[in-house]
Chain A
Amino acid sequence: MSTPELTSGMDRRHFLKISSTATAGLSVGFFVPQSAQAANTPQLNVWLEIEPNDTIVIRYARAEMGQGSMTSAPMMIAEELEADWKKVRVEYATAHENLRTKRAYGDMASVGSRTIRNSQEYLRKAGATGREMLIAAAAQQWGVPASECKAALSKVTHVPSKRTLSYGKLAAAAAKLEAPKDVKLKDPKDWTLIGKSIPRVDIPDIVTGRVKYGIDAQVPGMLHAAIAASPVFNGTVKSMDASKVENRRGIVKVLNLGTFVAVVADNWWRAKEALRDVAVDWDVGEHGTLSSAAIMAHFKAGMDQPELAVARNDGNTPDAMSKAAKVIEAEYFTPYLAHATMEPMVCTAWLQGDQLDVWCSTQNPESTLAVAAATAGVPQANVKVHPMQLGGGLGRKSPQDFTRQAVTIAKAMPGKPIKMLWSREEEIQHGLYRPASLMRFKAGLSATGKAEALHIRVCAPSILATLLKLPLPKGVDGQAVASFNDHPYDIPNTLVDYAQRNTNVPVGFWRTVGHSQNPFGRECFIDEMAQAASKDPVEYRLAMLPNNEKANRDRAILLAVTKAAGWDKKLAPGVFRGVAATDGYGSWTACVCDVSVNAKNEVKIHRIVIGIDPGYAVNPDNIVAQFQGSVVHGLTAIFWGENTIKDGRVEQSNFHDYRMMRLNEMPKVEVVIAPTGGFWGGVGEPAQAPLAPAVANAISAALGKRIRSLPLKNHGLTLARA
């Protein structure tokens, strides 16, 4: 892989020169307009440039936060371009360029595991268009029909005469040709890149420390801001007294910004230390008494709410339930969860007159641009959003609350570049939390154990209504009922209803969102149904899956994973097993987990077998990495993850009381990739869906009692060292 130029390309654009002097430790940087460097490089379309030395620059229009799309999205273009991957360099497209070109790069958000599935078609077409233009240029030069020419490995060959020309030599002529309107995409069986494990383009710069994250932005004359928002959500500043810190070394300004206070200093540590000594009286309104118990009571009241939003209504569930031979019922609960991205919220903003530059760890640079412009009160065309690598995103860096804060500070300090960085405490206590959710399941079984009726009632806050302020179709938040409203099982009478129960705790998209919690309830309750029917949980699920395209994928991945796990083989004494099958983000997943629980309530995970059918497996090793990582993310939540509310505020504040899984707890994980082709599914999020129920079902089997709430620490359980 020749990728050392990756960030030098980025450096050229955004940090042309960074030099530090031995004496003062100052940094000097300046920026060049983007057009300056690209002026003489033939551009076949917005996605690709080919330099005379055969280097192919492919633009990447989303964020990179560890999900690997900065490699797999350009693979889409390179595949159809017939590019020699060794000669490809990836560079970021920018939100301001997207604005200028009326969204030539399309959607730039990295959310919902959708980068590949939503952009694969236009990326492949961009590559194919480039390929056809290069072939046409070669054919023209040789005076032969294009149909006699073939492209491969960055070269066009005239097949009869075996003459060849490299893309670098053809690019200038090709760029002058008209782009073909219709291009034929390659048959998947002819792919040479897609489906191969390609090393990630950003890793060489990560291991040398060269890659620049949002927190690493460096601008001449930059100042640093530490901030504190009201410890009770949505509170405002009643009064502020900064007299104790104003004359301290390095402190430039202390700002009362209405909903938060900021200390601006020449070093972030000085700002953060001073912030502690700024006395703030917060107006917290009526919210200062909110507690986890009050929230639970609010959810429980939703269970008896007379009018509920109906998300699914097949058959006649109340009637079928009343006729059932056996009825079982259970309540499940999942808590609020903060994201805890390793890099806290960070944004650098520099307002010079009516021009605004922003360096931001953002999952949605277009939204960053819009929010920054609106906050500063400048036209969108005057804003530049400089792409940075993200130190994790996990859904938290898509909403732009922190961009708004940073630009608000910059507006109060015109002419000064300000880097605003949150403390870990700020991050955990001012999250946009995965909603807590209370779910009630009721099933009516026939005398033979067949599921005749299923009623699922969800009481939970709505992300869509409160964060995005979207109208809910028929009052239903799709995330709150995800995996319920679309369960694949052949249960003729299914009723899913929803009580929207918002609180003052703000909620947002947390990796895997509704699929991180609802499958825990659904697939554990399916286990309860299988148990009530005295059936094997895999057999029970297979028997309930109808014969349709969607359910056939559920069946295929469940069979692939249970086969890999050896479901039919006997387990060692004391070892118990759980299973779950789910779908989400356009992919199908299943998981089998083997555990034992000792007398000290330590859960030993012997093995996790987890699998996916993503349709096409674009970069298989990256899928394995995403699944290994998702297991860690998931187990952290399953065992310890919980944000509790007391006096209107989040009780946890840092990693000492919001515990993360560590290396010595990492169990054995086997990833099964079983692509069936014909569709494109996501890979960054689906793994968490079947994990929690498989783990909980295994533990329930081991304990002989049902686990119906998370985290497991509240059941006295801990994760044994691996």
Chain B
Amino acid sequence: MEIVNMKLSVNGKSHTLDVEPEMPLLWALRDELDIKGPKFGCGIAQCGSCTVLLNGEPVRSCAYPVSGAAGQKVITIEGLADKGRLHAIQQAWIDHQVPQCGYCQGGQMLAAVALLKKKPKPTDEDIDAAMTNICRCGTYARMRTAIHAAAKKGTRA
């Protein structure tokens, strides 16, 4: 199977890619398109540092073939703010000083955005179920607080 010139929409911008269809989306983004927000953590879809939104759904891009994203909408952390206006989750992350090293936080915020889209007022159990990415710095308590805070303020679509 040879796909040449795949089309990929990332953060509202269209890209044409000539890569192996099985190349993980993460490495197409990072090393072909220079979109560095999604991070490499494990390569086996365990940690979620590479999380991006694919048509609004969180996807662990290190184990997701780029061909599976062709023609669809990819959002990375760089594309979360709307013309410089921070998403409610980003603002809550600042207000509650969530990140420490920050490496996993792009993926964490995108997972939280997807959660709030499905459940605008999530319970602790909803947060437990949706927020499965690893944070080695241990920012979990603040993430929970920040998600509740963003939910309280209400998020835009």
Contact = CB atoms under 8 A, between A and B. Distances in A.
A721 B77 CA distance: 29
A22 B15 CA distance: 5
A210 B76 CA distance: 12
B21 interface: no
Interface string B119-151: 000000001110111111111111110000000
Nearest to A266: B31
B39 A342 contact: yes
Interface string A379-393: 000000000011111
A628 B137 CA distance: 9
A209 B102 CA distance: 9
Given A628-B139, A660-B136, A663-B143, A18 B34 contact: yes
A204 interface: yes
A20 B34 contact: yes
A442 interface: no
B3 interface: no
Contacts of A662: 131-132, 134, 140
Best-surrounded residue of A209, A211, A212, A664 (most CB of chain B within 10 A) = A209
Interface in A459-505: none
B138 A267 contact: no
B36 interface: yes
A203 B31 CA distance: 25
Best-surrounded residue of B14, B33, B42 (most CB of chain A within 10 A) = B42
Contacts of B77: 207-209
Nearest to B136: A342
Given A207-B109, A625-B139, A212 B36 contact: yes
Given A23-B16, A25-B33, A629-B100, A424 B134 contact: no
A203 B99 contact: yes
Given A207-B109, A342-B39, A389 B101 contact: yes
A521 to B, nearest CB: 24
Interface string A415-438: 000000101100000000000000
A216 interface: yes
Given A65-B101, A269-B23, A269-B24, A629 B139 contact: yes
B17 A25 contact: yes
B132 to A, nearest CB: 6
Contacts of B143: 663
B97 A199 contact: yes
A663 B86 contact: no
A628 B14 CA distance: 41
A72 interface: no
A392 B137 contact: yes
A631 interface: yes
Nearest to A218: B34
B144 A666 contact: yes
B140 A666 contact: yes
Given A269-B31, A424-B42, A660-B134, A208 B78 contact: yes
A207 B136 CA distance: 17
Given A66-B101, A423-B43, A218 B78 contact: no
B92 to A, nearest CB: 9
A679 interface: no
Nearest to A425: B43
Contacts of A626: 100
Nearest to A341: B136
Contacts of A209: 36-37, 76-78, 80, 106
B64 interface: no
A633 interface: yes
A630 B140 CA distance: 11
A628 B138 contact: yes
Contacts of B31: 224, 266-269
A139 to B, nearest CB: 40
A629 B129 CA distance: 21
A398 B139 CA distance: 23
Interface in A15-35: 18, 20, 22-23, 25-27
A224 B94 CA distance: 34
Interface in A90-111: none
The DSSP consensus for interface residues of chain A is: loop
A632 B137 CA distance: 7
A420 to B, nearest CB: 13
B39 to A, nearest CB: 7
Contacts of A632: 135, 137-138, 140
Nearest to B35: A20
Contacts of A210: 78
B104 to A, nearest CB: 5
Given A208-B78, A218-B34, A633-B136, A625 B100 contact: yes
Interface residues of A, number: 72
Given A342-B49, A632-B135, A625 B97 contact: yes
B100 A68 contact: yes
Given A207-B93, A213-B39, A666 B141 contact: yes
Interface in A655-670: 655-656, 660-664, 666, 669
Nearest to B29: A25
A206 B36 contact: no
B140 A663 contact: yes
A267 B25 CA distance: 12
A208 B41 CA distance: 19
Contact of A342 (B32, B34, B134): B134
Interface string A58-83: 00000011111000000000000000
A703 B22 CA distance: 51
A268 B27 contact: yes
A365 interface: no
B81 interface: yes
A216 B78 CA distance: 13
B97 A633 contact: no
A694 B137 CA distance: 21
A336 B106 CA distance: 31
Contacts of B46: 654-656
Contacts of A216: 36
A573 B48 CA distance: 39
Contacts of A269: 23-24, 26-27, 31
B138 A629 contact: yes
Contact of B137 (A25, A207, A629, A655): A629
Given A208-B80, A213-B39, A392-B137, 14 more contacts: A25-B17, A68-B100, A199-B94, A208-B81, A212-B36, A218-B34, A267-B23, A342-B137, A424-B42, A424-B43, A625-B100, A628-B139, A655-B41, A655-B42
Interface of B: 13-17, 19-20, 23-24, 26-27, 30-37, 39-44, 46-47, 49, 76-78, 80-81, 86, 90, 93-94, 97-106, 109, 127-129, 131-144
Interface of A: 18, 20, 22-23, 25-27, 64-68, 199-200, 202-204, 206-213, 215-216, 218, 224, 249, 266-270, 272, 340-344, 389-394, 421, 423-424, 621-622, 625-626, 628-633, 654-656, 660-664, 666, 669, 721-722
Q: 4 closest A-B pairs (Cβ-Cβ)?
A: A632-B138, A391-B103, A66-B100, A66-B101
